[in-house]
Amino acid sequence: MVSRQGSCRINLDYLLDGNDRVTRVCPQWSEVARQRMALRLDDEMVLGRSLWDFVHGGATQRLYDALIHHTRKTGRRTAFNYRGDSPGAIRYMRMVIVPGQGGVVRFRSELLHEQSRPREVYFTHAAYPCRPDLMQCGLCHRLEHHGRWYTLPEALKFTDAIDELMPTEVGDTVCDQCITKLELATGLRL
């Protein structure tokens, strides 16, 4: 069954069934997708589909798979902090993954703090990026270019890989620093 029921004001949440299909999203889901220029993530596009249609990058997929498996296996919630930026804002978030009956898993992202960016920067995330030399950590939003990690302000100064006038395509990954932080926060070995 697929629905848009649930409540979330500043928070976002979605529900996966035991087969990792998105069965529910919160009411503001589509608005947040539009703000992020992620129209392929509109609620009509995600409901009833597999989470794995939307989670890209080997490291990111392995991370989500481990977190979902751990939550289902232990029957305990899992929580960690991450960044959920939009083109015009830096957002510090907390994700809580809660197990339910029959393999159901609820993901809830809570906004902890938000600040404006000096200027908007747009990224598109590709399952198979044309430019594999530019990767973005899905948790801290740092960018890896030619083996070196940069914050966005650093990347804007020191690389020519980001076009401020057009959306820049990036591949998804998770950096080693974030893996280490997640292992400490969750007790998992990733």
pLDDT tens digits, 77-90: 999 999 988 888 89
pLDDT tens digits, 96-150: 999 999 999 999 999 999 999 887 787 777 666 555 678 899 999 999 988 899 9
pTM summary value: 0.80
Closest CA to 114 of 9, 2, 10: 10
Residue 40 confidence class, pLDDT cut points 50, 70, 90:
low
CA distance 145 to 115: 25
Q: What is the average pLDDT score of the chain?
A: 83
For residue 110, the surrounding DSSP H or E stretch is strand 105-116
What average pLDDT does this structure show over 161-172?
Answer: 76
Whether 46 and 33 have beta carbons less than 8 Å apart is answered as: no
Domain ranges in the chain are 12-186
For residue 3, what pLDDT is reported? 34
pLDDT of residue 10 exceeding 60, the answer is no
Domain 12-186, second-level architecture:
2-Layer Sandwich (3.30)
pLDDT of residue 7 exceeding 60, the answer is no
Whether 80 and 94 have beta carbons less than 8 Å apart is answered as: yes
**What pairs with residue 152 in β-bridges?**
none
What average pLDDT does this structure show over 64-85?
Answer: 93
CA distance 88 to 67: 29
